[in-house]
Structure formats: structure tokens, C-alpha cells
Structure 1
Amino acid sequence: MRISQLEGRRVALWGWGREGRAAWRAIRRRESADALPLTVFCTEAEAVEILALGDAALHPQTEATAERLAAFDVVIKSPGISPYRPEAQAAAARGTRFIGGTALWFAAHGDADGIARNTICVTGTKGKSTTTALLAHLLRAAGHRTALAGNIGLPLLEVLDPQPPPDYWAIELSSYQTRDVADSGARPEVAVVLNLFPEHLDWHGGQACYVEDKLALVTAARPRIAVLNAADPQLAPLSLPDSEVRWFNRADGWHLRGDDLYRGDTFVMDTTVAPLPGRHNRGNLCAVLAALEAIGEDAAALAPAVRDFRPLPNRLQMLGTRDGVAYVNDSISTTPYASQAALECFAGQRVAILLGGHDRGLDWDDFAARIAAHPPHAVVTMGANGPRIHALLEPLARAGALRLAAARDMAQALAQARELLQGEGVVLLSPGAPSFGQYADYVARGRDFAALAGFDPERISAIAGLGIA
């Protein structure tokens, strides 16, 4: 559905965060002087803000019941609002169509063949932000004007119709947005899927639905080219008859041998020179190079430009050292798998990891089993699921495999980690859980960690290259 097709329909926005505001501005830029009436389902504080805007056709409501949602033909929802909520399901059954800003953007960019030209979309449970930013970095190194947008921090509707348009779009998509691409009716030029692990199960209603929604980017959206990870057991069996498939992490394509990067049997470079935190991120360089190769670039010639890449904040971000202790901010970590990957980056080092946050019911058994073989020096648990993680790790602590402490908040967690390290080692914030309930988002959590550790949170928060350059 295009924005122009909203005219004459009963339309509401659900959510007034950055995505909701971007949708409002995009609609207003497209509308005539007789503005389309819009209802916004929002909080009471946001309703005050909305009324102060002076848009007479913008009407806030603070309760999104099934009955109220069903009064609209189209509801443009923010990504964090699940379409599987009972009130949304009930309204959908009565004919309300729920779409996201991502769907509106792709609908506006489909050509006569239905392809959103020059779009390269990246998704995956972990590593997608770094991979998308690295993709934009290498496209720019090749001389292309490139947009870096999407879930990485710039809603697509904020760059709906830039003039002149970029040569390429590097777009990060979360599992909240991948279904929107399929719903838009437009096909991505290239779609990259990095990996699949259990994540956001509360939003999706279960792992099967999460996987289905995530894979919608390559199954239902039918990209012209799909770039897939051959090493992922859920991706390797995929058959995509409507797409050309390029594989990475396979011996005949882009892959790593140890830390060495190969294209088939040809050595390209040693990836340890790349400022990419963790071997899994260096492995995702293979995905970027496969995507570049798919659009006709000389990927091998571009690969060395990775040396100039600036790592993203909150992703295994080295903040610095204070009194013999190094501080690493991996606040983006929202799954046990991400925390395990973070620990692997510091194998053999004296590490105190801070674990816990919002409890989504994810299984931590595999995490506990894996670290039993190579335990960190210490674990400090915190947040709503902290007690559950703490109880799971107590047998390791009783056996003397690791030191274990529980904290009520970030300040206490840091203090306990410092005490456990006794002036030597790494404090690693890699919570393995979202920040809801304690912080507005993972960025706020990372900023608090940085400030409490004695670093300037302003200097560690900016994402380099966001937007069009």
C-alpha cells in the first residue's frame, strides 16, 4: 500500500516513537492542504505532545482497544507493537489492515517489475547492525552514494524520497519489520540472512512464528537475490525458487579458515586486522562480500577497506581501561547466544560478565552448559531474570568454577564486578536480555554503564555513517 492510497480511508497510527513520528511526517508531506484525519494511539504524555503540534487533523487516543482499532481501515503501527496482540488480532478479524512504515517505504520504491531497485536488506538474530553498517562502508569505499537506514537507527520513512536518490540502500531489518517487506508488494533487490536463534519470542508468540516472520524476507518477499549463511542449520535447507541464491560460509564461496578470509580456494586477507569485534562479526564480512559480489562489485578488491570501518556503539565496544580493569559495552546483547558469543571473544582472559534484564522466558540452559566448559572468572546477575540465571549458575559457583554475585541495579553490578576482579581483567556488559523495565532501550543501558564506569556516554553513542553519504 502506497501513502497515496490512504486517501479516503480511516487511518490511525499506533505508537508515537521515532517510527510513528516518521510516519506522520511522511503522510503530511504527501497530503494536500486538506490533511488526512489521523488518530494516534499513544501514551498520555505523548498525547500532550501531539496536541502541542498544532495539527488539527491529528487526534490522540490513549487506549488501543480491539473495538477502537477496528474502527479504522488501516493502522500504521510502530515496529515494537506486535500484530499478534489479542486486540490487534480481533481488529484484523473485523477487517482492519495493520502495516508498518517499512511496508509504506517499500511500496513507494517498487518499479514496474515490482523490485525495489538497489536495496540490500540485512536481517539475522545477531550481527545485523554491524553487517549493514559494514555493507554501507564498503559501498561508499567503492564510490557509491549510499543510504544506511532502517532498524539501525534511522526509520526508512525519514528518507522516503531524498533528492538526489542514493546509488544503493543498505537497510537493516529486525524480525518486527521483515514481514512488512513482504506485505508491501515490492521485492528487495538483495536480501541477506545471517543466522537464526530464538529471539523476541514474546513479540512473535513463539519460536516457530519468529523463524517464519524472519524468513519472510526471503520466502514471502521473494528478493531478486538471496544471500544466505550455509553454516546455519535453519538456512542451509532453504529452497527459494523465485530468487537467485548466493551462499556464504561455504567452501566454494566467501568463508573463513581460522581468521583468514577466502573466496573459494583463493586467500584474500587476514581478518584480524579488521576492527570487527568477535570472530562472528568477521565471519559476517563474508556475507557483505557475497552481497557486493551479487551486485557486480569486485568484492576481493574492496575487502581491505574493512580496515577503516568504525565499529558500532553498544556492540562489544571497548570503552577503555580504569585502574587495571577494561570495560566493554555489549548492551545490544539481548539473547543468551549473544552473551555466549561475547564471552568467546575474551577467551582466556579474566572476565566478569554482567547478565540479566527483562525476562522473556528464554532458555538459559544451553548457555550454562557451554560456559561450564570454559567459565568466566565471575558472573554478576541483575534485572528481572537475574534470579533465574543466578539459580541456574549456582552449581558452577558451588563447584568453584566461577564466582557469582547478584545485584539490584547497574551501579551495584559494576561495583561487585570490580571487587571480584580485584584490579585485573575485563568488565563485560553483555546482558543477554532486553532493557525493558529498567531503561528505555539498550542505548540508554549502555550509556548508564559507560557513565558509571567513568566514561563520557556522549562520545560512545553515535553511529558513524548513518543516513546518506
Structure 2
Amino acid sequence: MRIADLADKRVAIWGFGREGQAAIKALRKRLPQLPLTLFCSEGEVASAQAFDAALSVHGHEPDAIALAAFDVVVKSPGVSAYKPALLAAREAGLQVTSGTALWFAENPSADVVAITGTKGKSTTTALLAHLARSLGIRTALAGNIGMPLLELDGQSAELWVIELSSFQTGEAGPLALGIVTSLYEEHLDWHGSRERYVADKLKLADAAQRLLVNGLQTTLLDKTSNHPQRLLFGQPQGWHVRDGFICRAEVNVFAATRLPVPGEHNALNACAALTALEVMGFDAIKAAPALASFHPLPHRLQPLGERDGLCWINDSIGTTPQATLAALMSLQGQAVTMILGGHDRGVDWSDVAAAIRRHPPHAMVVQGANSVRLTAALQAEPLNCIFEQVADLSAAVAKAREITPVGGYVLLSPGAPSFDQFHDFTERGRRFAEMAGFDGQAISGIEGLGIG
């Protein structure tokens, strides 16, 4: 469905975040006379009316009856495709699209690399765009990473590097290369089950002419074995990590310690980006030195600096147990106090808890709504480190200051969403930075969004 196909249709926008606003602007530009209805939260009504006075604004979630009044709904990613009202309305003939789907329909010939994965997708996306630009390639960086595709409506690029969440993978049109960085359990509240989450994530494979996947993940290899043009990263015959180096086959190309984002998992993300560059026909070996000038993304193992004799690291986007474990392993050999916990999503911590017991940090401070269950999992067997349970993030930061030795690290890597205390992981990361003594706004920008 293209934007022009919405002419003379009864159209509603569902969601007034950045995606919803981008959709409204794009539709107004192409179809200025088209009446638009917006469904948003009650607290967004005034902002929405100020944003576009011609909108018919409803400050509530629509039910199936309300949706039946429309031919097409343009929904934001945060609106689950499995909401009963939406499913019922679709059965009755409602067409559902999104900003992502509309952009792909408008740009069928764009050279697109789309990246998804439970963890690593944002860093891999930004790394790929950074490396491509280092070769002088006019590159777009957009999607779930922080710029809706429709904000770039009508613009051109030689290479489109697009991050897609599991909410968006089924909305992608045909693309040159899809990348899946990893696959773990997440967003079960949106998808409804782990099986559906995995199936939705791997919808990217259906759209991708070639599919690049993490060759170190057995589950991912099994799930993608039928793709006719599947490629791997992380394997010895291609780009992989070996003995502290990012390597191309037998050649040591780049020392992993020079990568501004720490940890072997980030070196593996760099391998994914370099492989993608190579698959798209560019000189990855020539681009590799540019890894040293990459700027870490906010809230993803982001070094904030030193305060009060302590080094502070913000990994607020670490919302799964596996992400927390990877963050801890990236700081092996350091005196680390980890801050964990948040919204209770019912995820199983037993395997990661066992791994943490084998590689314990200096201290752990557990906080948030899932702190009781998390404490039970972590202390199911003796844990050889300082362990504290507190009420919230503010108390956790205060406790971390108290128990971390001078020169040590305070790492926020919660392993859980933020919704028990904050609007999203971005707000949590900003507040953590401010509690540590840094400028929360200054640490939050993503460089390079858009076309460059």
C-alpha cells in the first residue's frame, strides 16, 4: 500500500509518538485534503491538537467498534498487532499499515540493509552506517534506532541502513540484505508468546534477498537454515573475533581493544557490519580502521566518565538477562558493582544467574519491581560477592557509591524493562547519568541519524 492509495479512504493514525507524527506529516504532504483521525493517550490530546489543528483527536485506545469506522489504520510500532480489537477489525475488513510499510512501498528500488536482533541491532546498524560513510558512500541511518523512515520521505541515498524492531520486521518490503544479530526472549507482552516473538523477528528473512546471521548462535542457525542465500558472520572463514582481534579469515585486521564500545559481543557486532559492507560490494578491509572513530550509542554500554573516583557505565537498554551478562563479561578484571532489576516481565534468570555465579562482580545491587524474584534467582546458590537489595534506582546508585572501591566501575545493566519507574530505557539512562553527576541530556543524542 502506497500513500496515494489512501486517497478517499477513511484513515486513522494510532499512536502519537515520533512514528505517529512522522506519518501525519507524510500524509499531509502527499494528501493535504485527506481527513485524519488520531487515537492517542489522554495526556497527548493537547499536544496533538497543537501539532495539527485539522486532526480529529481521540484520547483513548480504540475498540473494534471504533476501528470499524475506518478503512485503514496507520499504527505505531508500540501498538501490538495482536490486540484483540485490531484483530477483530481486520477480520471485518480493516486494512492495517505503518510508517515503515508505507516507506518501503514508496521506495521499492532503494538499496536497503535492514538489521534486527534481540540485542546488538542498534550498535550494528550505527557501525554499518559509520563504516559506509568512511568510504564516502551517501548513507541513510534510520528506523527503530531513532528516526522514523517517513521523516526521510522523498530523500535519496546510495545505501539505506535501517534498524527494525520485532514490531516492524513484518512490515519490511523487499530488501537487498537482512541481518539478524541475536535471538533471545523479549517483548513477550507485545507478541504474546516466545514462539510468536521468534516468528515475528524472523519475518525479516521473508523480505531479504540475502540473510546474514550470527554464526555463533545455534538456535538462530537452526531457525534460518532454509533461507536460500544465508550468510554467516562470526565464523573462522569470514569476519570473526579471535585472540583479541577482529579478523577476516586468517588475517588480524583490527585490535578489539581499539573499538570504542567494549566487549567481545560488540566486536562481533563490528564483524556483522563489516560482513554486510562486503556483501553489498564495498571494501570492508579499507573501512575497518574507521571502527576506531565510532561513537558509542547512548544507553548501550555507554561510558559516562568518572565521578567521585568511580567510573560510571550506562547500559540502560540492557533489558534482558543475556544483555546483562554480556555487559558484565565486557568488564572482566575490573571491580564492578552491577545495578540490576526493573519491570517484572516474568523472564527466566536461572541460566544467566548460574553464569554470573561463575564470574561474579565485586558487588550486585538489585532494585525495582522484580527485585524479590531476581534476588531469589541470583541467590539460589551461594554468590561470592557483595549483594544488596534496595527499593529503586535512586537507592541503588547511593548504595553503589558506598560499596564500590575507588577506581571501580558502577554498571547499570538492569536486565529488565524500565516501566516500573520510568517511561522508557532512555529516561532511565538519563536519570542514572544525573544521579551519577552527569548531564542527562548531553549523553542522550545519537550521532549520524538521517542521510550523510
TM-score per shorter chain, which class?
Answer: over 0.9
- How do residues 362-381 of structure 1 correspond to structure 2 at under 5 angstroms? 362-381=347-366
Measured after TM superposition, the shift of residue 45 of structure 1 is 2.2
Deviation of 1:37 (Å): 1.6
2:128 matches 1:135: yes
Within 2, Cα distance between the matches of 1:56 and 1:313?
Answer: 36
Question: Equivalent residues in 2 for 1:192-211 (5 A)?
Answer: 192-211=179-198
Q: Name the counterpart of 2:138.
A: 145
Instruction: Provide Cα deviations, 1:142-163, integer angstroms capped at 9, x if missing partner.
Output: 101111111111111111112x
Mapped to 2, the partners of 1:381 and 1:98 lie a distance apart of: 41
Cα deviation per residue 1:37-79 (whole Å; 9 max; x = unaligned)?
2111111221222233453353434231122123222111110
Within the candidate set 437, 440, 447, 1:454 is matched to 437
Structure-to-structure mapping, 1:31-42, within 5 angstroms: 31-32=31-32, 35-42=33-40
Distance 1:411 1:216 in 2: 40
The correspondence for 2:375, drawn from 372, 382, 390, is 390
Between the aligned partners of 1:423 and 1:255, the Cα distance in structure 2 is 36
- Give the match for residue 166 of structure 2: 175
Q: d(CA) in 2 for partners of 1:20 and 1:255?
A: 39
Give the structure 2 partner of residue 411 of structure 1: 394
The percentage of aligned residue pairs carrying the same residue is: 50
Partner of 2:178: 191
Residue by residue, what CA displacement relative to the aligned partner does 1:276-296 show, whole Å, maximum 9, x if unpaired? 221101111111111111111
Q: CA deviation at 1:245?
A: 2.6
CA distance in 2: counterparts of 1:290 and 1:240, whole angstroms = 20
- Is residue 337 of structure 1 aligned with residue 322 of structure 2? yes
Task: Give deviations 1:399-440, integer Å, cap 9, x for gaps.
Answer: 461222222222111111122225452111001111113112
Work out the CA distance in 1 between the residues paired with 2:383 and 2:392: 25
Q: CA RMSD in A?
A: 1.6
Give 1:114's aligned residue.
Answer: none
Match of 1:270 in 2: 255
Aligned to 1:2: 2
1:87-98 aligned at under 5 Å gives the runs 87-98=85-96
Looking at structure 2, the residues matched to 358 and 90 of structure 1 have their Cα atoms a distance apart, in angstroms, of 30
| Deviation readout 1:343-394 (Å, 9 max, x if unpaired) | 1011122211111111111111111111111111221111211221022223
Q: Secondary structure at the match of 2:378?
A: helix
Name the structure 2 match of 1:159: 152
Which residue is 2:77 aligned to?
79
Distance in 2 between residues matched to 1:368 and 1:305, nearest whole Å: 36
TM, length-normalised to structure 1: 0.93
Q: Indicate the residue corresponding to 2:108 in structure 1.
A: 110
CA distance 1:270–1:180, shift in 2 (3 Å): same
Equivalent residues of 2:335, 2:405 under 8 A apart: no
CA distance in 2, matches of 1:52, 1:300: 50
Code of the aligned partner of 1:267: N
The answer on whether the counterparts of 2:275 and 2:284 sit within 8 Å (CA) in structure 1 is yes
Confirm whether residue 326 of structure 1 aligns to residue 319 of structure 2.
Answer: no
What corresponds to 2:204 in structure 1? 217
* TM-aligned CA deviation for residue 168 of structure 1: 1.1
Equivalents in 2 of 1:137, 1:66: separation in Å? 44
Once residues 418 and 311 of structure 2 are traced to their aligned partners in structure 1, the CA distance between those partners, rounded to angstroms, is 23
8 A Cα contact 1:179 1:217, kept in partner? yes
> Is the aligned partner of 1:315 residue 2:306?
no
Deviation per CA, 1:313-347: give whole Å up to 9, x if none.
11111111223221110011110100010010111
- 1:355–1:380 Cα contact (<8 Å) kept: yes
Residues in 2 aligned to 1:78 and 1:435: alpha-carbon distance in whole angstroms: 20
State the 1:265 CA deviation: 2.3
Aligned to 1:432: 415
Q: How far apart, CA to CA, are the structure 1 residues paired with 2:333 and 2:323?
A: 18
CA distance in 2, matches of 1:59, 1:305: 47
Q: Which residue of 2 aligns with 1:301?
A: 286
When structure 1 is superposed on structure 2, of 386-395 and 19-28 the one drifting more is 386-395
The answer as to whether partners of 1:39 and 1:61 remain within 8 angstroms in 2 is no
Unaligned residue ranges in structure 1 (runs of 5+)? 112-116
Q: Which amino acid aligns with 1:203?
A: W
Moved more, 303-312 or 227-236: 227-236
Q: Which moved more, 1:442-451 or 1:52-61?
A: 52-61
Q: Distance in 2 between matches of 1:37 and 1:361?
A: 42
Q: In 1, Cα distance between the equivalents of 2:58 and 2:117?
A: 35
In structure 2, the CA distance between the partners of 1:393 and 1:271, relative to structure 1 (3 Å rule), is closer
